[in-house]
Structure 1
């Protein structure tokens, strides 16, 4: 069976898993956050993997690097939402710390992958 290029990438799989965890935990936030923090964190978390996939279909490494950059920005958005959730007492310190560590590992993995995407001469 043939696969898409992005399906072979560990960062895509990791970001897919991370997005599902964010989806699950955000479902426990208060209902009055449905159109605010829940929506924001879910869209940002999904955007990480979506941008990796979209960028992988580009014609150049430069373009792919740009989309990895978008993914990194989305990850930063998720981390900010996690801080908001912690401040609003939707996440305890332990849960926050676990998600924060996962985000940090993912950020480093994406940054390392982006560094391998040198422009072909």
Structure 2
């Protein structure tokens, strides 16, 4: 079994690459937030942005498509959460509207890519189910 084992590398997924790049950008951005937001909004933005890539990676490493779908859907939720936190940061004046618009656009692109990824996984699951039936 080990000789033919193929280990998928999440780092090759374009959606993971974009999520990772966004996470790095957000990590730099929040350094300018006020100290009183350090354990509130900053923590939430960092956690939600990290969760996108982490869930993609965890799902892609799974053996079962249903588990991969679960994690892709979780990444989708984290992207929505991150959009919300960034909007709050903009509304509170911690980031400029242009910065928010740029990051929101990147998150929308990641969300669209996740929709495509989920659609592809569902199709793969359907094909597997068809093959299993007599």
Question: Which structure: larger Rg?
Answer: 2
**TM-score band w.r.t. shorter chain:** over 0.9
Deviation string, structure 1 residues 27-52 (Cα, Å, up to 9, x no partner): 11111100000011001100110001
Runs of 4+ in 1 over 6 A off after TM superposition: none
Equivalent position of 2:74 in the other structure: 70
How far did 1:68 drift?
0.5
Deviation string, structure 1 residues 11-70 (Cα, Å, up to 9, x no partner): 111100011111111111111100000011001100110001111121211111110010
When the two structures are superposed, what TM-score results if normalisation uses the length of structure 1? 0.94
Which secondary structure does the structure 2 equivalent of 1:117 belong to?
helix
Equivalent position of 1:42 in the other structure: 46
Which secondary structure does the structure 1 equivalent of 2:95 belong to?
coil
Equivalent position of 1:109 in the other structure: 113
1:15 aligned onto 2:8:
no
- How many pairs align? 120
Give the 3 Å change call, closer, same or farther, for CA 28–35 of structure 1 in structure 2: same
Unmatched 5+ residue regions in structure 2?
1-5, 130-134
How far did 1:86 drift?
0.7
Contact 2:22 2:49 in 1 (8 A): yes
